Every structure is written in structure tokens, then in C-alpha cells.
């Protein structure tokens, strides 16, 4: 048996016996997609803040959120106020990785947004520190918290499942 066939059969065996990735629920992002989103967000850590900018090196909070979600297949509007109109409301005690957090920083309406990354933390574009991780129970953020939203991913935009990709490749070979 050729080495390629053994490797392909081994991969198929591994994929077929490994448990499926857990899903958070049909209400929001799959856990694996939320993890991908957080990895994308973390890749921007320490970049600068610039109000109104959409540059990949310096951006404001809503441009940061828009960019992270867009890279992961979800289109959001540009401004915080527009982003606040998307998704379903989530109670603070029910937050999941990938949920959006909205704050009133310089006004009574949503003027700041961050992405919840779990363990009481968010990643966001801070006006003074750039893209950083902050605790949401920090007195500054706790006092200004307005609400959270869970963004729904359109089923048509789902990425191909790795099992489907491997099975399709095997069908072509045999």
C-alpha cells in the first residue's frame, strides 16, 4: 500500500472517530468559530487607537470589531451605535466568548464596544492604550456597561467542515 493511501486512510480514521466539536447553541457562534474570532482579535493586540480610522495599524473600537467579525465571515456596520442594533440581547451573567459588549463612555448612548473573550475579560480598542485586554468588572467599565449582544452567524456563511473536505478529497481518489 502506498504511503499516500496509508496517510489518507489514517486521516479519515482519525476524523471519523474523533468527537465532533461542541457547539455553544443555535443562538450564536459555534464554539470553534468564537475561538477563531478571538484568535483574530488577539492578532491585533498592541496596535494603536485612532478615532475614525479603519487602518489595520490604528483603528477605533467599532472599526476593530467590524474588522474582526468581517475576517470571520460576519458583516457588521461601521459605527458603535449601528453595531448595537445587531444581534440578540444577552444578560451579563450569560456572556459567551464572541459576544459584543456596549458601553456609554462619552455619552449616554453606546459609544464604545468590545468583544468578550471569557473569564471576565474583553478585547477592545482603548483610546489611551490601543488594542488591549481589560477586565469587564474593572470599576471604569462596570460603571459604563450598557448591554451585551450575541451576533448570529448566517448559516449560509458557515465555513466548510474539515470532515467534509477530507471526505470529498477521498471520493476523488478512489
**Mean pLDDT highest for which of 18-32, 67-81, 154-168?**
67-81
Q: Is the pLDDT of residue 77 over 50?
A: yes
Residue 49: helix, strand or coil by DSSP? strand
**Residue-wise burial string across 1-20, b where 16 or more C-beta atoms lie within 10 A, e elsewhere:** eeeeeeebeeeeeebeeeee
Q: Residue 17 domain-assigned?
A: no
Catalytic amino acids?
61, 112, 124
Does residue 142 lie within any of the structural domains?
Answer: yes
- Domain annotation covers residue 40: yes
Flag whether 45 is in a domain.
Answer: yes
CB 167, CB 12: distance < 8 Å: yes
**Would you say residue 1 lies in a domain?**
no
Q: What's the total number of domains in the chain? A: 1
Whole-angstrom distance, CA of residue 109 vs CA of residue 37: 26
> Facing residues of 130 across strands?
126
CATH at 96:
3.90.1720.10
Residue pLDDT, tens place only, 82-139: 999 999 999 999 999 999 999 999 999 999 999 999 999 999 999 999 999 999 999 9
**Alpha carbon distance 30, 24 (integer Å):** 5
For residue 42, give its domain range: 23-153
Within-domain flag for 13: no
Residue 173 resides in a domain: no
Is residue 4 a part of any domain in this protein?
A: no
Amino acid at each position: 500500500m502506498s504511503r499516500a493511501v496509508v496517510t489518507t486512510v489514517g486521516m479519515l480514521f482519525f476524523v471519523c472517530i474523533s468527537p465532533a466539536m461542541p457547539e455553544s447553541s443555535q443562538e450564536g457562534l459555534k464554539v470553534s468559530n468564537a475561538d477563531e474570532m478571538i484568535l483574530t482579535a488577539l492578532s491585533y493586540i498592541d496596535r494603536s487607537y485612532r478615532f475614525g480610522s479603519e487602518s489595520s495599524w490604528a483603528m477605533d473600537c467599532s472599526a476593530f470589531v467590524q474588522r474582526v467579525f468581517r475576517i470571520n465571515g460576519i458583516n457588521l456596520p461601521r459605527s458603535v451605535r449601528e453595531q448595537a442594533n445587531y444581534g440578540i440581547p444577552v444578560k451579563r451573567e450569560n456572556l459567551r466568548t464572541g459576544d459584543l459588549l456596549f458601553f456609554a463612555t462619552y455619552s449616554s448612548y453606546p459609544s464604545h464596544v468590545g468583544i468578550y473573550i471569557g473569564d471576565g475579560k474583553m478585547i477592545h480598542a482603548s483610546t489611551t492604550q490601543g488594542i488591549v485586554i481589560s477586565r469587564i468588572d474593572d470599576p471604569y467599565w462596570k460603571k459604563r456597561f450598557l448591554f451585551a449582544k450575541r451576533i448570529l452567524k448566517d448559516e449560509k456563511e458557515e465555513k466548510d467542515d474539515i470532515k467534509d473536505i477530507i471526505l470529498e478529497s477521498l471520493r476523488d481518489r478512489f
